[in-house]
């Protein structure tokens, strides 16, 4: 059977032969053994629902073993034998192109060259799942292959509940991931209900099929790093010879060395997992691998004296590097951390003092001790960062819940009166005021033809549009536009593509709409093939996350999540091809709600309307919320938008004189 036939078949007619796990593949850590015997039976019974009775006896024992060995039932036997990667759109068996576009996005998220733990259907972040198991994948692909444009597929945390009649204007797919009754959203609830096979952690772009490899994050990381340096460098200083120390070469964190090179500094990224580091090295995302700390010190000292731009992956624990650099008096200009602390007890963060392999054994055999070690390590981590920041390092939290978990572990990360963290998050200092409040966010597009020529042409189109917008832009957003014009000019030569032919660009509502309309025109005239538009959930209006995207909201509403819900519902009836709403993403289960969309451009007039209507709402809903919280830049942006768009009527806050409040108490 060929690729198309296998997809149309869904769950195979004949039981596939048993598979063994390939030890060369980067495997997910064993998850917590949290279920009672009764619950284990329920988990196995839940898994067997996907298969004919005749297979149950054989599969039941196999699934019991998967649960015992891995803590989850992945149904590896059903992983298809064909290669999974973003094949061009015409290669999918689909009745409608929109569905084929979605299939392509799924394939990209599960491509072993892209996904962090491909066998376990994890794209990034240690637990960012596309599906919970291979049966869900097979069924979803089949539904997409057979659906028409008057049906909508509803996915409950990876499980395809089914196709329901809808209309041409409705989204083709509606996705929810990890949505829980609020009281059941503690980390152990994820462990339990994920093990039962009834929910999953979709991260942001994993469970929404919008991951485009590390490029997606290189751009955001470059912007963040560039502005972090702008915040700290003295007049006349440049990034040359300056050190950026961080950790993580995983799904998103793997972008840091590339961003360091684009910015022109010396970056050191510690990574405990040699496979993760090797992958980034093989892809050309990091210049050199060093596993001996003495060699690292010598190399960095030399690079500093020669002011070389270089990115170094240190194979080992980041705490060791911070401590060694303190002893060796190596000044760190900028420091951050991108271990997966949104998932601290299940392998997101490896404690200092034990090897990666020892850590994995402890995680499996003694999770309680592992947790203690993580907390000890976080305290040591916080202490050494404090010593560096007292000498002038600018440290910021990179949205990975480092400050949150370090504070919970009793680490020294609080300010004097213990009311807040003593370090900013990258959103508070950088992305919030400079980007999100103005509507700039990680807009992206994917050329479904798979052709590099299409991507090049779209780069040119986007550049031309940004240059035009720049001519009459507010002075407050000119730097943002310049950074993005530079980015898009160099994007092709920076060789950023891994997987599907995709591009990311930070643009505001005006930029996103104009670029999308121009793409739609190019499709209509046959210059390029169909395009999928989307964005990271990590954006202006998609995500309510008090320690990250909405950390620069100061009216108390940062602990509410209405914006993300309105975002997804609002996008769904304004023209999205698919929408998704997730609990957890970046900072952890129960800590964030985030939403996103995908839009398939087919060159039609209807598509023009969708672009104008949906993208306008997608961005301005977020700006409106930010302006209601009295963020000055958001107020400026929304007032400007209201002048241009008479139908937009946003409630604007009045300022209160603080003396009135002070006189009350």
Ligand X SMILES: NC(=O)c1ccc[n+]([C@@H]2O[C@H](COP(=O)([O-])OP(=O)(O)OC[C@H]3O[C@@H](n4cnc5c(N)ncnc54)[C@H](O)[C@@H]3O)[C@@H](O)[C@H]2O)c1
Residue whose CB is nearest to ligand X in the complex, by number: 250
Q: Does residue 596 touch ligand X according to CB under 6 A?
A: no
Q: Does residue 217 touch ligand X according to CB under 6 A?
A: yes
Among the listed residues 187, 207, 399, 441, the single contact to ligand X using CB under 6 A: 399
Nearest approach, Cβ of residue 318 and ligand X (Å) = 4
Among the listed residues 400, 425, 551, 621, the single contact to ligand X using CB under 6 A: 400
Nearest approach, Cβ of residue 218 and ligand X (Å) = 9
Q: Does residue 28 touch ligand X according to CB under 6 A?
A: no
The answer to whether 77 and 18 have CB atoms below 8 angstroms apart is: yes
Question: Reduced to 3 states, what is the DSSP secondary structure of residue 557?
Answer: helix
Q: Does residue 261 touch ligand X according to CB under 6 A?
A: no
From residue 101 to residue 120, the character string flagging contacts with ligand X as x (rule: CB under 6 A) and all else as - is ---------------x----
Q: Does residue 511 touch ligand X according to CB under 6 A?
A: no
Hey, which residues between 302 and 361 contact ligand X (CB under 6 A)? 317-318, 338-342, 348-350
Burial status of residue 517 (CB atoms within 10 A of its CB: 0-12, 13-18, 19 or more) = middle
Compute the Cα dihedral for 499, 501, 506, 512 and give only its sign.
Answer: negative
Nearest approach, Cβ of residue 536 and ligand X (Å) = 9
Nearest approach, Cβ of residue 479 and ligand X (Å) = 19
Q: Does residue 267 touch ligand X according to CB under 6 A?
A: no
Among the listed residues 29, 171, 220, 439, the single contact to ligand X using CB under 6 A: 220
The answer to whether 320 and 327 have CB atoms below 8 angstroms apart is: no
Closer to ligand X by Cβ: residue 122 or 611: 122
Q: Does residue 276 touch ligand X according to CB under 6 A?
A: yes
Through-space distance between the first and last CA atoms of the chain, rounded to whole angstroms: 77
Closest CA to 653 of 631, 622, 621: 631
Question: Reduced to 3 states, what is the DSSP secondary structure of residue 95?
Answer: coil
Please choose, out of 67-75, 132-140, 245-253, 506-514, the segment that lies near ligand X by the rule CB under 6 A. Answer: 245-253
Nearest approach, Cβ of residue 539 and ligand X (Å) = 11
Nearest approach, Cβ of residue 229 and ligand X (Å) = 16
Q: Does residue 271 touch ligand X according to CB under 6 A?
A: yes
Strand-pair partners of 159: 156
Q: Does residue 398 touch ligand X according to CB under 6 A?
A: yes
Question: For residues 196 and 590, what is the distance between their CA atoms, to the nearest angstrom?
Answer: 18
Hey, which residues between 117 and 146 contact ligand X (CB under 6 A)? 124-126
Closer to ligand X by Cβ: residue 157 or 336: 336
Q: Does residue 250 touch ligand X according to CB under 6 A?
A: yes
Strand-pair partners of 505: 443
Q: What burial letters (b/e) apply to 637-661, b meaning 16+ CB within 10 Å?
A: bbebbbeeeeeeebeeeeeeeeeee
Beta sheet of 394-395, edge-to-edge order: 288-290, 310-315, 266-271, 243-247, 334-335, 394-395
Q: Does residue 170 touch ligand X according to CB under 6 A?
A: no
Nearest approach, Cβ of residue 259 and ligand X (Å) = 9
Closer to ligand X by Cβ: residue 364 or 538: 538
Closest CA to 341 of 247, 215, 418: 247
Nearest approach, Cβ of residue 535 and ligand X (Å) = 14
Chain position carrying tokens 């947790």:
371
Nearest approach, Cβ of residue 355 and ligand X (Å) = 11
Nearest approach, Cβ of residue 549 and ligand X (Å) = 9
Closer to ligand X by Cβ: residue 50 or 229: 229
Closer to ligand X by Cβ: residue 458 or 594: 594
Burial status of residue 525 (CB atoms within 10 A of its CB: 0-12, 13-18, 19 or more) = exposed
Nearest approach, Cβ of residue 117 and ligand X (Å) = 9
Closer to ligand X by Cβ: residue 80 or 353: 353
Nearest approach, Cβ of residue 42 and ligand X (Å) = 29
Q: Residue 324: how many CA atoms within 13 Å on its side-chain side?
A: 20
The answer to whether 128 and 582 have CB atoms below 8 angstroms apart is: no
Question: For residues 295 and 304, what is the distance between their CA atoms, to the nearest angstrom?
Answer: 14
Nearest approach, Cβ of residue 231 and ligand X (Å) = 17
Closest CA to 603 of 484, 374, 449: 449
Nearest approach, Cβ of residue 343 and ligand X (Å) = 7
Q: Does residue 152 touch ligand X according to CB under 6 A?
A: no
Among the listed residues 221, 428, 620, 631, the single contact to ligand X using CB under 6 A: 221
> Chain centroid to CA 511: how far?
22
Nearest approach, Cβ of residue 44 and ligand X (Å) = 28
Q: Does residue 252 touch ligand X according to CB under 6 A?
A: yes
Q: Where are the alpha helices (DSSP H) in 499-557?
A: 509-524
> Chain centroid to CA 271: how far?
19
Among the listed residues 118, 570, 586, 590, the single contact to ligand X using CB under 6 A: 586
From residue 529 to residue 548, the character string flagging contacts with ligand X as x (rule: CB under 6 A) and all else as - is ---------x----------
> Chain centroid to CA 21: how far?
27
Q: Which residues lie closer than 8 Å to 190 by C-beta, 6 or more apart?
A: 127, 178, 199, 201, 584, 589
Query: Could you tell me how many residues of this chain bind ligand X (CB under 6 A)?
Result: 35
Closer to ligand X by Cβ: residue 147 or 430: 430
Among the listed residues 141, 270, 378, 611, the single contact to ligand X using CB under 6 A: 270
Count of helices and strands (H, E) across the chain: 24, 17
Max Cα separation, the chain? 79
Closer to ligand X by Cβ: residue 200 or 400: 400
Q: Does residue 445 touch ligand X according to CB under 6 A?
A: no
Q: Does residue 223 touch ligand X according to CB under 6 A?
A: no
Strand-pair partners of 173: 153, 578
Q: Does residue 29 touch ligand X according to CB under 6 A?
A: no
C-alpha R_g of the chain: 24
Q: Does residue 442 touch ligand X according to CB under 6 A?
A: no
Q: Which residues lie closer than 8 Å to 215 by C-beta, 6 or more apart?
A: 255, 496, 497, 498, 502, 503, 504
Question: For residues 595 and 208, what is the distance between their CA atoms, to the nearest angstrom?
Answer: 9
Chain position carrying tokens 């050190």:
243
Please choose, out of 78-86, 147-155, 248-256, 620-628, the segment that lies near ligand X by the rule CB under 6 A. Answer: 248-256
Nearest approach, Cβ of residue 250 and ligand X (Å) = 2
Question: Reduced to 3 states, what is the DSSP secondary structure of residue 169?
Answer: coil
Residue ranges that bind ligand X, judged by CB under 6 A? 116, 124-126, 217, 220-221, 247-253, 255, 270-273, 276, 317-318, 338-342, 348-350, 398-400, 538, 586
């Amino acid at each position: 059977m060929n690729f198309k036939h296998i997809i149309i078949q869904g769950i195979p007619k004949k039981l596939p032969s048993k598979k063994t796990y390939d030890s060369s593949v980067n495997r997910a850590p064993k998850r917590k053994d949290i279920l009672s015997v009764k619950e284990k039976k329920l988990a196995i019974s839940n898994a067997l629902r996907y298969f004919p009775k005749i297979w149950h006896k054989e599969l039941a024992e196999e699934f019991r073993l998967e649960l015992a060995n891995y803590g989850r039932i992945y149904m590896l036997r059903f992983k298809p034998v064909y290669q999974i990667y973003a094949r061009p759109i015409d290669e999918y068996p689909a009745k409608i192109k929109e569905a084929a576009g979605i299939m392509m996005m799924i394939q990209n998220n599960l491509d072993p060259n892209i996904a962090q733990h491909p066998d376990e259907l994890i794209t990034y972040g240690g637990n960012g799942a596309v599906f919970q198991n291979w049966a869900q994948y097979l069924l979803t692909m089949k539904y997409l292959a057979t659906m028409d444009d008057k049906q909508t597929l509803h996915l409950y945390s990876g499980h395809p509940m089914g196709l329901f009649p809808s209309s041409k204007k409705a989204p083709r797919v509606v996705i929810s991931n990890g949505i829980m009754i609020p009281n059941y959203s503690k980390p152990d609830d994820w462990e339990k209900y994920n093990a039962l096979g009834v929910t999953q952690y979709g991260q942001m772009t994993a469970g929404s099929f919008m991951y485009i490899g590390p490029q997606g994050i290189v751009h955001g990381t470059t912007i963040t790093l560039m502005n972090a340096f702008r915040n700290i460098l003295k007049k006349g200083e440049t990034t040359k010879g300056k050190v950026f120390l961080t950790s993580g070469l995983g799904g998103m964190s793997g972008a840091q060395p590339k961003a360091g090179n684009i910015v022109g500094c010396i970056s050191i990224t510690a990574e405990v997992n040699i496979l993760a580091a090797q992958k980034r090295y093989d892809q050309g995302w990091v210049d050199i691998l060093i596993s001996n700390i003495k060699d690292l010190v010598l190399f960095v000292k030399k690079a500093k004296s020669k002011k070389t731009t270089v990115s170094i992956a240190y194979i080992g624990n980041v705490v060791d590097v911070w401590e060694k650099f303190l002893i060796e008096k190596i000044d760190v200009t900028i420091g951050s951390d991108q271990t997966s602390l949104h998932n601290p007890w299940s392998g997101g963060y490896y404690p200092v003092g034990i090897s990666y392999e020892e850590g994995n054994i402890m995680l499996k055999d003694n999770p309680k001790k592992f947790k203690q070690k993580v907390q000890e390590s976080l305290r040591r981590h916080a202490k050494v960062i404090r010593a560096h920041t007292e000498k002038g390092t600018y440290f910021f939290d990179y949205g990975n819940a480092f400050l949150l978990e370090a504070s919970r572990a009793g680490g020294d990360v609080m300010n004097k009166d213990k009311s807040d963290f003593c370090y900013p998050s990258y959103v508070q200092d950088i992305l919030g005021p400079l980007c999100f409040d103005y509507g700039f966010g990680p807009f992206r597009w994917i050329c479904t033809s798979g052709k590099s020529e299409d991507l090049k042409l779209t780069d040119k189109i986007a550049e031309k549009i940004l240059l035009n917008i720049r001519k009459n832009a507010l002075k407050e957003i000119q730097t943002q536009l310049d950074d993005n014009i530079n980015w898009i000019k160099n994007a092709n030569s920076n060789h950023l593509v891994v997987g599907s032919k995709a591009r990311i660009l930070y643009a505001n509502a005006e930029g996103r709409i104009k670029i999308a309309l121009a793409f739609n025109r190019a499709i209509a005239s046959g210059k390029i093939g169909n395009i999928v538009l989307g964005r990271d959930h990590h954006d202006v209006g998609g995500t309510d996350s008090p320690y990250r995207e909405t950390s620069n909201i100061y009216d108390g509403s940062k602990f509410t999540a209405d914006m993300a819900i309105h975002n997804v519902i609002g996008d769904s009836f304004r023209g999205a091809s698919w929408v998704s709403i997730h609990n957890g993403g970046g900072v952890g289960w129960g800590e964030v709600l985030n939403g996103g969309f995908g839009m398939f451009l087919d060159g039609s007039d209807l598509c023009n309307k969708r672009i104008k209507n949906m993208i306008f709402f997608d961005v301005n809903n977020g700006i409106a919320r930010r302006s209601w919280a009295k963020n000055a830049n958001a107020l400026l942006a929304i007032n400007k938008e209201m002048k241009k768009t008479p139908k937009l009527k946003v409630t604007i806050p009045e300022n209160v004189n603080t003396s009135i409040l002070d006189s009350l108490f």
